[in-house]
Homo-oligomer: A and B are copies of this chain.
Amino acid sequence: MIKTVAIQGIKGSFHHIVSQNYFKTNISIVPFMSFDQTVDSVLKKETDAAIMAIENSIAGSIIPNYALIDTNNLHVVGEYYLDIQHNLMALPNQKIEDITEVYSHPMALLQCKAFFKQYPHIKLIEDKDTAEVAERIHKKQLKNTGAIASTLAAEIFELDILATSIQTIKHNETRFVIVKQDNSEIAEAEINKASIKFELDHKRGSLATILNVMSDCKLNLTKIQSLPIIETPWKYAFFVDVTFQDYQDFKKAKSIMDIMATHFKVIGQYKNAKI
């Protein structure tokens, strides 16, 4: 049973939104300032699970988070997709003309750069976290200061939204995973997606052979990514996500792939969040 969840960022952050949307029951969230710290808290059993952004439609896979999950042998027990929308917010009763400085995470500033071109009087300043700026504006009642954050952050820290969805690329879907130290307790009947990792030699046709097994076992591939194995030339690690209708099919594929590939590992088996 998951009761406490480690998230990156404070209340009002995108990880907080995911924790609210994913968990139907009441859970308490524990905020951390880095992904390393969220994983540490799970390993030390201070929290039951962690939520981690793992890929997004603009920047692709977040490889350091894959590495954190893999090297610490955490298990993915669920996934959630969130369409990330950035909003400009400030203390109530201020207009965009009153804002002289906007603080946010470098990535958020970058994604909203085009919007601010219309407002050359606003200075953009890099900060640690999107929601934390919203909190600071609220706590210190900072006038003339804007934050770029979620609508949830605006709600929690009683700020007014001056402009919605100000990022240049309107569709920015981010995939989050829920990770735990032990394997999931999801019933087999509910499992219809899995994340696996394996290694192959740089030998002609070796990946094709594995994919043929997946196909024969009725698995659909939804993601594949190769990563060279550091310090081991000509060896590659593959991270693959597959969906399936029947868990028995996946079980069959697993037992074959385990023989055919080196270091075969199931990173997680869970419920597909896309219908």
A-to-B contact residues, CB < 8 Å: 57-61, 63-64, 106, 126, 171, 202-205, 207-208, 211-212, 214-215, 218-228, 230-231, 233, 236, 238, 274
* Complex A-B: 21 CB contacts under 8 Å: A57-B228, A58-B64, A59-B63, A59-B64, A60-B61, A60-B227, A171-B231, A202-B220, A204-B218, A204-B219, A205-B211, A205-B215, A207-B211, A207-B224, A208-B212, A208-B214, A222-B226, A222-B236, A223-B226, A224-B238, A233-B274
In the complex the two chains form, what is the Cα distance from A258 to B103 in whole Å?
A: 48
Chain B residues whose C-beta falls within 8 Å of the C-beta of A64 in the assembled complex: 58-59
Name A106's closest neighbour in chain B (CB-CB): B106
Q: How would you classify the secondary structure of chain A's contact residues: helix, strand, loop or mixed?
A: mixed
A168 to chain B, nearest CB (A): 12
Which of these, B205, B211, B225, contacts A225 with CB under 8 Å?
B225
Chain B residues whose C-beta falls within 8 Å of the C-beta of A126 in the assembled complex: 106, 126
> A224 with B224: in contact, given A59-B64, A64-B59, A211-B207 (CB under 8 Å)?
yes
In the complex the two chains form, what is the Cα distance from A122 to B123 in whole Å?
A: 27
Name A200's closest neighbour in chain B (CB-CB): B221
A111 to chain B, nearest CB (A): 11
Chain B residues whose C-beta falls within 8 Å of the C-beta of A171 in the assembled complex: 230-231
A32 to chain B, nearest CB (A): 16
Closest 10 CB pairs of A and B: A205-B215, A60-B63, A208-B211, A208-B215, A224-B226, A208-B212, A225-B225, A204-B220, A59-B63, A223-B226
Chain B residues whose C-beta falls within 8 Å of the C-beta of A106 in the assembled complex: 106, 126
Chain B residues whose C-beta falls within 8 Å of the C-beta of A236 in the assembled complex: 222
Q: Are A212's CB and B215's CB within 8 A? A: no
Of the listed residues A126, A221, A223, A227, the one surrounded by the most CB atoms of chain B closer than 10 A to its CB is: A221
In the complex the two chains form, what is the Cα distance from A202 to B233 in whole Å?
A: 32
Chain B residues whose C-beta falls within 8 Å of the C-beta of A202 in the assembled complex: 220, 222
Chain B residues whose C-beta falls within 8 Å of the C-beta of A57 in the assembled complex: 228, 230
In the complex the two chains form, what is the Cα distance from A226 to B224 in whole Å?
A: 5
Name A126's closest neighbour in chain B (CB-CB): B126
Name A60's closest neighbour in chain B (CB-CB): B63
In the complex the two chains form, what is the Cα distance from A58 to B228 in whole Å?
A: 10
Chain B residues whose C-beta falls within 8 Å of the C-beta of A230 in the assembled complex: 57, 171
In the complex the two chains form, what is the Cα distance from A215 to B228 in whole Å?
A: 19
Q: Are B226's CB and A215's CB within 8 A? A: no
